[in-house]
């Protein structure tokens, strides 16, 4: 059972990382019409100028925090693919779009994680927009930072595991 592995995990189990990768690919393929490619587990490449969608998949024992990191140019291309029109990165609608995209992704992640024994639900999404944004996780929980590239641009999914409180 995956919850037993999570109790002593120093990193996110490979089974879960693979499920999340496939969930990202499925979600973005349904939006863009073609699947993005997983590039590699990413290192910190400095500050971001764009927008971040935040959501969690959780149960009473564990929480997987998902941060969908979308550079400005990619966010604009996503708005065109998803809505059929270009949104301004500064608009409230862009924040709503990225929050909804995070919600769709978390639903896919939650459904697919059941296959590896993790039953959970998703939280409400939020979006953060700005320049010179840096991602960091206090207390260094088990995490994975996954980079993808596709026809709509590149983006990162940062995932962290913590105990639910």
Whether residue 138 is contained in a domain is answered as no
In which element (H, E) is residue 161 found? Answer: strand 153-163
Q: What is the pLDDT of residue 16?
A: 92
Helices H / strands E in the chain, number of each = 4, 7
* Total count of residues recorded for the chain: 165
pTM for the model: 0.89
3-state class (DSSP) for residue 88: coil
Residue pair 127/54 in contact by the 8 Å Cβ criterion: yes
What tens digit of pLDDT does each residue of 46-99 get?
667 899 999 999 999 999 999 999 999 999 999 999 999 999 999 999 999 999
Identify whether 137 is part of a domain: no
What CATH number corresponds to the domain at position 152? 3.40.1550.10
> How many whole angstroms from its chain centre is CA 72?
16
pLDDT at 145 over 80: yes
For residues 41 and 116, is the Cβ–Cβ distance under 8 A? no
Structure confidence by residue, pLDDT tens digits, 6-38: 777 788 989 999 999 999 999 999 999 999 999
Domain total of the chain: 1
Domain that holds residue 67: 2-42+49-130+144-163
In the numeric block, the tokens 């809505």 are attached to 83
Under DSSP, the state recorded for 85 is S
For residue 155, being part of any structural domain is answered with yes
């Amino acid at each position: 059972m995956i919850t037993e592995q999570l109790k002593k995990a120093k990193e996110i189990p490979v089974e879960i990382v693979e499920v999340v990768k496939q969930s990202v690919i499925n979600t973005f393929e349904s939006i863009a019409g073609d699947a993005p490619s997983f590039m590699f587990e990413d290192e910190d490449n400095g500050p971001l100028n764009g927008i971040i969608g935040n959501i969690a998949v959780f149960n009473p024992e564990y929480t997987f925090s998902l941060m969908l990191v979308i550079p400005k140019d990619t966010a604009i291309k996503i708005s065109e693919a998803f809505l059929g029109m270009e949104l301004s990165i500064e608009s409230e609608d862009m924040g709503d779009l990225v929050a909804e995209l995070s919600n769709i992704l978390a639903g896919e992640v939650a459904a697919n994680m059941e296959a590896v024994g993790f039953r959970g639900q998703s939280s409400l999404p939020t979006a953060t927009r700005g320049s010179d944004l840096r991602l960091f996780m206090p207390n260094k929980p088990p995490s994975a930072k996954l980079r993808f590239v596709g026809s709509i641009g590149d983006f990162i999914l940062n995932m962290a595991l913590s105990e639910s409180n």
